[in-house]
Structures are given as structure tokens and as C-alpha cells.
């Protein structure tokens, strides 16, 4: 794979007219290969002047007539980076979602990806479980499958996980996760309940109750979202491809 090339990872997960849908793609970030898959959260900067935000990859497809590789993502911003700003009602771990999903060509999305997030201080640090404790009876593999089925409607990610492993990547590399507000509340409640409990509990009831969140990632930053806002300048971003969303929606609704 050439350093600046893009390629799909894993088998297609759907076919609809001229559109082929995929679960993941590979690109290079700072000279190193990296794979992003559906359900992944990652830091982006939409333009050099914009603040860093979080993207959640929700759809990947190729338009066969134009050979365009496309993505749909949901963006999350800190309250202070929205037009209304932060107020007393916002939680310290809260982010706000842009009301409209953004359709971007993959070649442009990878330019948005931001690797240096040392200045991002927000988010609850998730407790990590020792991976040695998860090695017994295939617990870690079971939790990975459970999380993937929870995030991605039961799609089989075995081929994608193998490709990530071959690159030296792992689900443990995830460094940020955005939960719904009910999930976040349950997470905080469970953290309080398992304080000073033996590790066996962390690798069983706790991990399964949280969908493996605290297990499959190395101390990620946990945030939550309960509100949306209209971004005032995203529509002016030249990378946004609304025309492809209109084509996709029109084609699917006509079937």
C-alpha cells in the first residue's frame, strides 16, 4: 500500500444499487498505517482554524459510478466551542453533537484526523482492567465481540480486527469514547459500586454491564452527549459533500 493511498479493509457489508458499503478503511497518519472502522471515535480538526472535536465514524461506502470513497460521521464539540458556549447546566464530561451528520470524501477525512491531542483534557478517565486477568476462558475476545455487536448492529468485524492486529493495532488503542447520557450515568454508578472490589468482579459483571468499555481500551477518556446544535460554519467547509448524501438518500428512498 502506497503511503498516501486509501483502501477498504474487510469484506463489504452491504450493496444497494451503485453503492457498496464497507466496515473499515486503511490510511497513513504521520507515515504509519492506521485503520478506522465503523463505531470508532477519533479526534479531528475540520479546518486549521477550528477547535479539535471528536468524530464518530458511522457509514462508509463507495459510489461505483464515480469511484468516490465516502464517509459519514457525527461530530461532537465541547460546549465552549459551540455558539451558545458553556453554561452551568453542562457537565464536565459533556460534549454536544452537530445536528447534521457530515459527508466527506475519505481523502479529505484523513486530512482532518488529528494525532496530537495532548491538550484535550476533558473526559472521565476510564478504569483499566489488567489484560492478564482477561486472558482466561477467552473473556477478552468475548467482550470485544459483545462491544462490536452493541456498537455496530451485529456486523461481523472479525476480518477487520485481524487486519488491525496485523498492523499492531488493537481495540485497546481507542483513546476516546462518547456515550449516551443514560450509559454515562450507568457507568458512573458502576464505578462507584465496584470501588475496592476484587479484580474478578471487574472482569465479569462490571465489564459486561458496560459493554466492555473499561476493558477493551487502555484508560480512554469517557464523555457523554445529550444535546445537539446547528454548527454555523460547517456548511461553508469545502470538504463537505452534501450532494452525495442527497444522491444516496434519493436512491434509497426510491427503492
Distance in angstroms (rounded) separating the CA atoms of residues 179 and 185 = 9
| Average pLDDT value for the chain | 79
pLDDT in tens, 180-196: 998 888 888 877 776 76
Residue of higher predicted confidence among 210 and 37: 37
Question: Is 105:243 a contact under the CB 8 Å cutoff?
Answer: no
What's the predicted TM-score (pTM) here?
A: 0.84
Instruction: Out of 10-14, 151-155, 227-231, pick the least confident.
Output: 151-155
Residue 58, pLDDT score: 94
- pLDDT band at residue 166, thresholds of 50, 70 and 90? confident
Contacts 24+ apart (CB under 8 A), 208-214: 208/143, 208/146, 210/186, 211/146, 211/147, 211/150, 211/151, 212/143, 212/144, 212/146, 212/147, 213/126, 213/147, 213/177, 213/179, 213/187, 214/126, 214/127, 214/128, 214/129
Residue of higher predicted confidence among 157 and 145: 157
pLDDT in tens, 60-96: 999 988 889 999 999 999 999 999 999 999 999 999 9
Question: Is 218:206 a contact under the CB 8 Å cutoff?
Answer: no
Instruction: Out of 15-19, 119-123, 165-169, 251-255, pick the least confident.
Output: 251-255
- Of 223, 179, 248, the closest CA to residue 20 belongs to 248
The SS3 assignment for 173 reads: helix
The residues near 61 (Cβ < 8 Å, ≥ 6 apart) are 19, 20, 21, 22, 70, 248
Calculate the alpha carbon distances from 92 to 122, 169, 188, 229 in Å.
7, 30, 13, 18
The SS3 assignment for 250 reads: helix
Question: Is 173:49 a contact under the CB 8 Å cutoff?
Answer: no
H or E stretch covering 85: none
Residue 240, pLDDT score: 87
- Of 61, 70, 5, the closest CA to residue 33 belongs to 5
- Of 135, 124, 136, the closest CA to residue 213 belongs to 124
Amino acid at each position: 500500500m502506497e503511503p498516501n493511498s486509501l483502501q477498504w479493509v474487510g469484506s463489504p457489508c452491504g450493496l444497494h444499487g451503485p453503492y457498496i458499503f464497507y466496515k473499515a478503511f486503511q490510511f497513513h497518519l504521520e507515515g504509519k498505517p492506521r485503520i478506522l472502522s465503523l463505531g470508532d471515535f477519533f479526534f479531528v480538526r475540520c479546518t486549521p482554524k477550528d477547535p479539535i472535536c471528536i468524530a464518530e465514524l458511522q457509514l462508509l461506502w463507495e459510489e461505483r459510478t464515480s469511484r468516490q470513497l465516502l464517509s459519514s460521521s457525527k461530530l461532537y464539540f465541547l460546549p465552549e466551542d459551540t455558539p451558545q458556549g458553556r453554561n452551568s447546566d453542562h457537565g464536565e464530561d459533556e460534549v454536544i453533537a452537530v445536528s447534521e451528520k457530515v459527508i466527506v470524501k475519505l481523502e479529505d477525512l484523513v486530512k482532518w484526523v488529528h494525532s496530537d491531542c495532548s491538550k484535550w483534557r476533558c473526559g472521565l478517565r476510564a478504569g483499566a482492567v489488567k489484560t492478564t486477568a482477561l486472558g482466561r476462558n477467552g473473556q477478552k475476545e468475548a467482550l470485544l465481540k459483545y462491544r462490536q455487536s452493541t456498537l455496530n448492529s451485529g456486523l461481523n468485524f472479525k476480518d477487520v480486527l485481524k487486519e488491525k492486529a496485523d498492523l499492531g493495532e488493537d481495540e485497546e488503542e481507542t483513546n476516546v469514547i462518547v456515550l449516551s447520557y443514560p450509559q454515562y450515568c450507568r457507568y458512573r454508578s458502576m464505578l462507584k459500586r465496584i470501588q475496592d472490589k476484587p479484580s474478578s468482579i471487574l472482569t465479569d459483571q462490571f465489564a459486561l454491564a458496560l459493554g466492555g468499555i473499561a476493558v477493551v481500551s487502555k484508560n480512554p477518556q469517557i464523555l457523554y452527549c445529550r444535546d445537539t446544535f446547528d454548527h454555523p460554519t460547517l456548511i461553508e467547509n469545502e470538504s463537505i459533500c452534501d450532494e452525495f448524501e442527497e444522491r444516496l438518500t434519493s436512491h434509497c428512498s426510491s427503492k
